[in-house]
Amino acid sequence: MQPEIDPVLHFYNSLPFNIKSRTWLPSSKQSFDNYCPNIMQLVYEAKLILDIGCGPGHFINSLNYHYQLDVYEYQDKLFTGLDFNPTAINYAHEVSVKNSLDTKFVIKNVFDIQSADFQSMGESNILVISIGALHHTVDCIKAIMKILQAVTANKAKVSFLIGLYHLHGRAPFLSHFESLKKQGWPRDKLFAEFAELRGSTLDALQDESWFEDQVLHPRESQHTLQEINPVFEQFGLYLHSTSINRFDRFKKAEDLFASEILLKDIAEAKLSNRTYFSGFFTCLFKNY
């Protein structure tokens, strides 16, 4: 009897999220500041940059590409992408090779990560990235804890950039499409509705991957800073910045909890104006 295939792996195997039909170049920095301003500084400080749930490798390859542009002498630095989808990993590796990058890609489930994956780093700085992946696992909080247990076991200096769907910011988008599905809208009408909200690119394959990921995904959870903050603090990592307050300064994380509900108002306004709003948020946690 063959083991049951995870529905998310099955979903992404034929069409990984954000994959492109055209040759992709890792030269754009467009998304960097949306995820974390000054992220390249974290790259410079780290010996290992590990992107967990890297998908087709756009982000980790881009970071490596821009690091290579900025630094000319040899550096003992590891750029690694990890994902459980072989199709996405193969694509990411091909892009890396075409652009003469030394990014390493590993096929692994997040729940199989062990402290041994970080032991060679010793007490060096480690930058962990997980953007838009852990909320598709069977248990997002357990996945976060699994990573934190592994990466902090070796007394390394750790920065952890995480991106998740927000409980309040995501709700209007999900409710809108759930209502359309209940009304019996066929796939082509749902696609047209999503394309009108988000806009389309010149890459039909990429547009298709975005539609399936956002509207037809078999498993997704939504979270808040208030929920994940104590998980990180349990392992000695504390909030450094977050998109929730547009990366502004704050005195303590608890000061931001009350404002999280306002993301629903923003999302509803965007939907009313026929503008795409995914309800996504990012946080940077550090233990140094």
Name the average pLDDT for the chain: 92
Say yes or no to pLDDT of 21 above 90: no
Residue 122 reports pLDDT greater than 70:
no
Kindly state whether residue 101 falls inside one of the protein's structural domains. yes
Among 78-92, 122-136, 177-191, which stretch is predicted with the lowest mean pLDDT?
A: 122-136
* Number of domains making up the chain: 1
- The answer for residues whose C-beta is within 8 angstroms of residue 163's C-beta and 6 or more apart is 35, 130, 131, 132, 280, 281, 282, 283
Tell me the sheet residues that pair with 130.
Answer: 162
Give domain status of residue 202, yes or no: no
Q: Return the CATH number at 110.
A: 3.40.50.150
Tokens of 15: 């069409």
* Residue 124 maps to a domain: yes
Instruction: Tell me the C-alpha distance between 275 and 173, whole Å.
Output: 10
- Judge whether residue 191 has pLDDT over 60: yes
- In a domain? residue 191: no
Q: pTM here?
A: 0.94
Question: How far is residue 42 from each of residues 45, 129, 196, 250, measured CA to CA in Å?
Answer: 5, 11, 37, 20
**What pLDDT shows up at residue 233?**
98
Q: Is residue 192 part of a domain?
A: no
User: Cα dist. 256→11, 226, 242, 251 in Å?
Assistant: 35, 8, 10, 9
Query: Could you tell me if residue 100 is inside a domain?
Result: yes
Q: What is the mean pLDDT of residues 130-154?
A: 97
Examine the pLDDT at 220 and tell me if it is beyond 80: yes
Nearest residue to 219 (alpha-carbon basis) of 4, 5, 2, 9: 9
Does residue 174 fall inside a structural domain?
no
User: What's the rounded mean pLDDT across residues 233-259?
Assistant: 97
Average pLDDT for 130-145: 98
Residue 74 domain flag: yes
111 lies in which domain range? 7-168+222-267+280-286
